[in-house]
């Protein structure tokens, strides 16, 4: 697959010479890195059969998590204001394109069990607690995730029970 790099560069305001294959790319998407104004970004290109609805829902869900302070990568909008754009390969295949800001730190792929300190385990647990607590604030049904909605319904305090702040105790317990 050869992408029309000029159109992607225009959509996300970067120079084509700055786009490089990402060494930590996934098995499903093609992944590239680029820099803009001193910051690093990941550009992901989907296979032609990716569902635009599912990817748009997923990116909006990710954006809401990011806005709540969840430890997730920040989705980046194109110059058109969209989280998902369409790119065309030189063969004429249509692909969905997303961009996220590179998060600080190392990818989990480079962490071996014996290199994870107690402090790092604590931070991983804290990050999971933040993610879990924010998950309960988001109605997954609006993103088309019925399983998450069932989970949120089961974990939502009943009317008259302890205040909502009880959910946040997972972040304040030592």
pLDDT digits 0-9 by tens, 87-110 = 877 788 888 999 999 988 766 666
Residues 21 and 71 in one domain: yes
pLDDT tens, 17-73?
A: 898 988 776 677 888 999 999 999 999 999 888 889 989 999 999 999 999 999 899
Residues 95 and 116 in one domain: no
Residues 33 and 94 in one domain: yes
Please enumerate, as own/partner, the contacts of 168-172 that have beta carbons within 8 Å and a separation of 24 or more: 168/133, 170/129, 170/132, 170/133, 171/126, 171/129, 171/130, 171/133
- The structural domain count of the chain equals 2
Parent domain of 156: 111-172
Residues 66 and 124 in one domain: no
**Percent of the chain residues topping a pLDDT of 90:** 27
pLDDT higher than 90, residue 112: no
Residues 19 and 64 in one domain: yes
Q: How many CA atoms lie within 13 A of 69 on its CB side?
A: 8
Task: Confirm whether 106 is domain-assigned.
Answer: no
pLDDT tens, 135-155?
A: 888 877 777 765 544 444 444
Q: What does the pLDDT read at residue 77?
A: 97
Residues 97 and 14 in one domain: yes
Q: What does the pLDDT read at residue 79?
A: 95
pLDDT tens, 1-26?
A: 677 788 888 999 998 889 898 877 66
What is d(CA 6, CA 86) in angstroms, rounded to the nearest whole number?
A: 13
Residues 117 and 162 in one domain: yes
Residues 12 and 53 in one domain: yes
Q: What does the pLDDT read at residue 165?
A: 39
What is d(CA 125, CA 117) in angstroms, rounded to the nearest whole number?
A: 12
We report the CATH number of the domain holding residue 25 as 3.30.200.20
Q: What does the pLDDT read at residue 64?
A: 93
Residues 54 and 137 in one domain: no
Please check whether residue 85 is in contact with residue 46, taking contact to mean a CB–CB distance below 8 angstroms. no
Task: Confirm whether 69 is domain-assigned.
Answer: yes
Residues 15 and 76 in one domain: yes
Mean pLDDT of the chain: 79
Q: What does the pLDDT read at residue 132?
A: 86
Q: What does the pLDDT read at residue 162?
A: 39
Residues 22 and 97 in one domain: yes
Residues 9 and 56 in one domain: yes
């Amino acid at each position: 697959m050869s992408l029309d790099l000029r159109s992607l560069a225009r959509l996300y305001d970067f120079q084509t010479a700055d786009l490089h294959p990402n060494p930590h790319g996934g098995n499903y998407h093609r992944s590239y890195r680029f820099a803009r104004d001193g910051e690093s970004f990941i550009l992901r290109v989907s296979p032609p059969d990716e569902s635009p609805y599912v990817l748009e829902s997923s990116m909006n869900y990710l954006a809401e998590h990011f806005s709540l302070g969840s430890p997730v990568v920040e989705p980046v909008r194109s110059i058109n204001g969209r989280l998902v754009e369409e790119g065309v390969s030189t063969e004429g295949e249509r692909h969905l394109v997303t961009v996220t800001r590179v998060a600080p730190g190392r990818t989990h792929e480079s962490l071996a069990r014996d290199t994870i300190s107690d402090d790092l385990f604590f931070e991983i647990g804290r990050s999971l607690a933040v993610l879990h607590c924010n998950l309960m604030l988001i109605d997954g049904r609006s993103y088309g995730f019925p399983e998450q909605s069932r989970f949120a319904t089961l974990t939502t305090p009943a009317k008259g029970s302890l205040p909502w702040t009880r959910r946040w105790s997972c972040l304040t317990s030592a």
